[in-house]
């Protein structure tokens, strides 16, 4: 769906355009990532995304299915592939994204992933998850 807010958000994310992504969120929006990171409000969302983008050279998302079951509710199945600053590649990882919109833009975005490590893996908190080949992207 070319006019979906999911497509718009993913295009800005794949461009690593922090300002463009942040501007899509309403002032009291929430964002939750696949590993339990969360942010409330545009400034916290900007900070979370800035940390995420700082690890990346590039990212690419491909939506395989997308639904708009109710006004303001969007759901997508997709894959995410990531190139880190050290030129290593991660993915493609399966993702599901649920997005709700309101008059001010994105009200809520939740991202779910299919490559989470077991909780005891390394004893690290989810916001600092590393696999055998390095950092695992959470968005």
- The CATH number assigned to the domain holding 10 equals 3.10.450.50
Q: Considering its fold, how many domains does the chain have in total?
A: 1
Q: What is the pLDDT of residue 121?
A: 45
Alpha helices in the chain (DSSP H): 5-14, 18-23, 42-54
Residues spanned by the domain of 53 = 5-135
Convert the pLDDT of each residue in 71-88 to its tens digit. 999 999 999 998 989 898
Tokens (6 digits) for 36: 């339990």
35 Cβ contact partners less than 8 Å away, ≥ 6 residues apart? 113, 116, 126, 127, 129, 136, 138
- Higher pLDDT among residues 138 and 34, named by residue: 34
- Higher pLDDT among residues 33 and 136, named by residue: 33
Tokens (6 digits) for 86: 């050290």
Q: Average the pLDDT over 6-31 and give the result.
A: 97
DSSP-based three-state secondary structure for 122? helix
Give the chain's mean pLDDT. 86
Do residues 139 and 34 touch, judged by C-beta distance below 8 A?
yes
**Cβ count near 21 (within 10 Å):** 26
- Higher pLDDT among residues 116 and 90, named by residue: 90
Convert the pLDDT of each residue in 91-134 to its tens digit. 888 999 999 999 989 999 999 987 655 434 444 444 556 665 56
Q: Minimal CA–CA distance to 38: which of 48, 28, 46? A: 48
């Amino acid at each position: 769906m070319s006019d979906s807010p999911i497509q718009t958000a993913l295009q800005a994310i794949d461009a690593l355009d922090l300002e463009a992504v942040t501007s899509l969120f309403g002032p009291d929006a929430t964002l939750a990532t696949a590993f339990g990171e969360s942010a409330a409000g545009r400034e916290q969302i900007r900070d979370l995304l800035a940390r995420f983008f700082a690890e990346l050279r590039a990212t690419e998302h491909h939506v395989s299915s997308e639904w708009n079951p109710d006004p303001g509710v969007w759901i997508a199945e997709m894959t995410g592939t990531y190139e880190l600053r050290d030129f290593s590649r991660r993915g493609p990882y399966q993702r599901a994204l649920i997005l709700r919109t309101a008059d001010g833009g994105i009200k809520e975005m939740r991202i779910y992933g299919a490559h989470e490590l077991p909780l005891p893996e390394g004893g690290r908190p989810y916001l600092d998850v590393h696999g055998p080949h390095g950092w695992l992207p959470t968005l």
